[in-house]
Amino acid sequence: MKHTFLPAIVMISVPLWAGTVLAADRCDVAKAEWQPTQALQQKLEAQGWKVTRIGMEDGCYEAYALDQSGRRVEAYFNPKTLEPVKAKADR
């Protein structure tokens, strides 16, 4: 039983950890090059999103919002380009 439990934990945790590393790598931007959070909010609202909060995590902007379909979204954006890095949406 111990042998099957440990590989299952590794299989689940490694992809989660790797996703975090990839997001941080894509957001490796000097603070002086960051655009203001208002620019990201305006961009998302122009796409039909209703933004509830924008914060920072792992060097990325982290936005909580309802997308144009009304789904709750947690999305990460490069603070220099405002391009999406990764997102999670409720189904």
Mean pLDDT along residues 18-36: 75
What Cα–Cα distance (Å) separates residue 49 from each residue in 16, 41, 57?
A: 26, 9, 20
Give start and end residues of each alpha helix (H) in the chain. Answer: 2-26, 37-46
The overall pTM is greater than 0.75: no
In the block, tokens 């999103």 appear at 49
pLDDT value at position 33?
Answer: 96
pLDDT value at position 4?
Answer: 52
How would you list the strands of the sheet with 72-77, edge to edge?
50-57, 60-66, 72-77, 84-89
